[in-house]
Chains A and B, each alone.
Chain A
C-alpha cells in the first residue's frame, strides 16, 4: 500500500540511524519469510496448483500496481501510495502456494523499484517492509480462513483482517524510517494517516474480491473491475493534493512570519529562502545577492543572467551541480539585482548517482506567485538591510557615548533625561536619573542653554569634592533636546590650587634667604664703621651661605621642571657602594649628630648615579629631621631584595595618613597650610627624589601609618 520515498536529506539526524532501521527491517523480513515457510505453509494445507500464466499475470499486476503511485508529502519525505496488496489478496483467496505468491510479488516490486530508479537503500527498505507486511497478510489469512470457501463469510472476514494487518505493519515500519530520517514524530504521522490507510485497506479488499468474483464467473467483464480502482486512485490523488496544499500553507505562513520580522541578512535570507523552497516543494535553494554574497547551494553557481525576464527555468549547466531541475527568479535589492533559485536535487547515495524519481516542476501558473513572493522577500531584505545599517550606526554612536571621557546627558524639552552616559554616572556618582533628582543633577540640568564651561562644585557620595565644567547646547529640530556635556575638572582644579600654593610657597622660600642677603648688604654699607672685623666676617659668611641656599633652591626648581618633561633628567650611572654614599650624605647634617643612626653594613654595590643618590638620601633625611620632634631618632637601614638594594629612612614622627601617602610625591604638594607650615621647602623634594630614582631604574616609596612614623624606601638596582 505505501512505500517510503524520503530523500533523507534535510533533517536526517545521521545515516547510521536510517541504516539501522533498514537493516533491522531486512532482518525482520527474513525472519518473517522463514516463519511463513516453516510454520504457516505446512499448516495451510492444500494449495491450488498454479499455472505459469497465472504467475505471469500476478507479476505484471505487481509491477503495475507499484509503478502507479500517488505521492504524499510528509515534511521533506514523500510517501508513495500504491495498490500492491491487491496481488496478495487475489493470490491468497485463490490459495496460490504462499511462498510462490510472495516470490512473484516481491520480484514484481523489485522490477517496479528498478523502473522507478529509486535509491538502493529505499529499494531495500521497501522490499523488506513489503515482505514483512505480505507475510503478515498471508499468515493472518491462512490461519483464520479455516475450511471456508473462497467467498465464504469466514474467508472474507479473514481477508479484511489480513489487509488491516498488512496496512498496519506498513504504516508502523514507515513511521520508524520517517522518524529516523526526518524527525517526523510517529504519533503525528500515524494520526494523519490511519484513516486514509484504513480506507485504502478496505478498498483494496473490496476491489480484489470483486475482481476475483468477476474473473471466476464472467471473465469478459474483468476490465470493468478496473473502474473502482481508477476511482480510488483519483480519491488518493485528491487526498494527496490536499496534504500538499496543507504543507504549502504551513510554509507560506512561515514565510510570512519571516518577511514580517526581517532580521539581519545572514539570518533572514536563509530562513526566507528555505521557507520559499518548501512552499514549492523544492529540495534546495540558491541565492546570489547583487554584491556577490551567496546563500544556500549558490557556492558553485554563477547566477544566470535573466535579462528582462522575471523568472526562468534553468538549463543543465546553469544551476548548482547537485541540481536536476531549477527555476531562477530575479529580484531588486540595495545596489542591484539579485537572483534566487529553487530546484530539485539529483539524489545521491554514496558513490551511486541516480536522477531523482520525482518529476518536480513549477508550473506556469505558479510562476507569477513565485515572482511575487520573491519580491516580497527582497523588500523585507531591504528593510532588514536598512535596519542593520541603522543598528550599526546606532552602535557607533553608542560606542562614542559609552567611551567618551566627558559625561553626556541628553534632556528633552520637558526636562526628561533621555540619556545619561556611563562617564556621567562615573563623574557624578549618580546612576539612577529617575526623579527625585539629587541637587547636583538639578544644577546640571538647570544650566542655561548655550552655556560653555559653567563651573559646578559638589561633594560626591564618595566624599570627594568634585569640580564640574558643564556645557549645554540646545538642539532645535523636530524635537527640541539639550545636549549637556560634563567634564570632570577636579584634577585640573587641584593642579591649579597646587600651583598657586606653590607660588605662595616658593615666593616665601625665595624671599627668606634674600632677606638676610639684602639686609646685611645694606647694613654693611650703612654701618661698616661701627661693625667689628669679626662681625663683618660673620655677616659676609651668612650672606654667602644664604646665597648658596638660594642657588640650591633654584636648582631644585629647574630639576622639577625637567623631571616633568621626562627627557632631560640625566643620570650617569656607575657601580657605587650605597652604604658609603649614605654615610657621606649624613655628613651634611652635622648638627643632628646622634639623632641619625646608620646601620653598620658591609658594602652593597648598586648601579646608580652617586650625586643623585646623595641628593635623594639627603632629601629623605632632611625631611625626616624637619618633620619629627627634636631628639627623636632617624634610622637608615639597608637590605637586599631579589635584584634590588633598598635604603630605608625611618623616622618616629606622626606619620602620614593613607590618603596623603601618594600625594606627597606630587609636585608642589605640601601637607601643611603655607601660612603656618613648620618647615621651609618648596614641596619639590620628594617629587624630585622619586623622579631621579626612577630615572636610575629604581623608585622611592613610602610606608606609614599615622602615629607610627614614616619609612621612605629608596630602591636601586643591585650591581650584577
Chain B
C-alpha cells in the first residue's frame, strides 16, 4: 500500500480521487493548490506518488512539477498529471516538465489506479501521444 499526494483545487475531483484510492487501501494526503503541495512535500513524509492537476489558481501544476524536478528528494518522484486542458501545447508542456503520466479529465478511476500501480512498480513511462 502506498501514500499518494493529491493536488487539485476542485473539491469534488479531490474527493473522487481520494475515494478511488482509499477503496484500494492507499493512504491519501490532499493539497488544494501548488504552494500547499510543496509544503506537504517539504514538511511531511515523502509520498510514493503525486497526482497533480495543472489548472490551479496562483501556481499551476506545471510550476509545481518543475519545482519537484529541481529538488533532489523529489527528482525521481512519480507524478501523474491530470488536466482538463488536453490541447497539444499543454500536453507537450507537461511532458517537457517531466511528468510520468499525462491523464486528461474526465478520467476512468480504474485507469488511474492502473497507472499508479505501474509507476509504483517503477514501470515504464507512458509515451506522449500528440
Contact = CB atoms under 8 A, between A and B. Distances in A.
A675 interface: yes
B10 interface: yes
A514 B106 contact: yes
Contacts of A515: 10, 12-13, 16, 84, 105-107
A497 to B, nearest CB: 14
A512 B86 CA distance: 12
Interface stretch (A31-39, A325-333, A523-531, A557-565): A523-531
B60 interface: yes
Contacts of B15: 516, 542
Interface string A488-519: 00000000000000001001110111111111
Contacts of B87: 504
B84 A675 contact: no
Contact of A678 (B19, B57, B86, B108): B57
A530 B25 CA distance: 11
Interface residues of B, number: 30
A676 B124 CA distance: 30
A676 B58 contact: yes
B120 interface: no
Given A504-B87, A507-B84, A542-B15, A519 B107 contact: yes
Interface in B47-68: 54-60, 62-63
B122 interface: no
Contacts of A679: 57
Contacts of B57: 676-679
B19 A514 contact: no
Contacts of B19: 520, 523, 535, 539
Contacts of B63: 676
B110 interface: yes
A522 B108 contact: yes
B10 A512 contact: yes
A367 B25 CA distance: 126
Given A515-B84, A516-B15, A539-B19, A675 B55 contact: yes
A16 B109 CA distance: 112
A519 B84 contact: no
B32 to A, nearest CB: 11
Interface string B6-30: 0000101101110110010000000
A674 B15 CA distance: 23
Nearest to B104: A511
Given A508-B85, A513-B12, A519 B106 contact: yes
B84 A512 contact: yes
Q: Is the interface of A mostly helix, strand, loop or mixed?
A: helix
Given A519-B16, A539-B19, A511 B59 contact: no
A652 interface: no
A9 interface: no
A675 B107 contact: no
A511 B58 contact: no
Contact of A516 (B12, B58, B104, B108): B12
A542 B109 CA distance: 16
A519 B60 contact: no
Contacts of B107: 515, 518-519
Contact of B106 (A511, A526, A527): A511
B84 to A, nearest CB: 4
Contact of A520 (B10, B16, B56, B58): B16
Contacts of A513: 12
Nearest to B14: A516
A546 interface: yes
Contact of B84 (A511, A520, A546, A677): A511
Contact of A676 (B10, B16, B59, B106): B59
A239 to B, nearest CB: 104
B106 A518 contact: yes
Nearest to A513: B12
Contacts of A676: 55-60, 63
A516 B12 CA distance: 6
A525 to B, nearest CB: 9
A504 B87 CA distance: 8
B122 to A, nearest CB: 25
Interface string A545-581: 1100000000000000000000000000000000000
Q: Which of A513, A522, A542 has the most CB of B within 10 A?
A: A522
Interface string B100-130: 0000111111100000000000000000000
A628 to B, nearest CB: 13
Interface in A559-608: none
Contact of B16 (A509, A516, A527): A516
Nearest to B25: A530
Contact of A522 (B58, B105, B110): B110
A527 B58 CA distance: 35
A675 B13 CA distance: 17
Nearest to A503: B87
A667 to B, nearest CB: 21
A526 B110 contact: yes
A545 B16 CA distance: 14
B13 A516 contact: yes
A513 B20 CA distance: 17
B58 A678 contact: yes
A522 B60 contact: no
Nearest to B12: A516
A517 B12 CA distance: 9
18 contacts: A504-B85, A509-B84, A511-B106, A514-B105, A515-B84, A517-B106, A518-B106, A519-B20, A520-B16, A522-B108, A522-B109, A523-B20, A530-B23, A539-B19, A542-B12, A542-B15, A676-B57, A676-B60
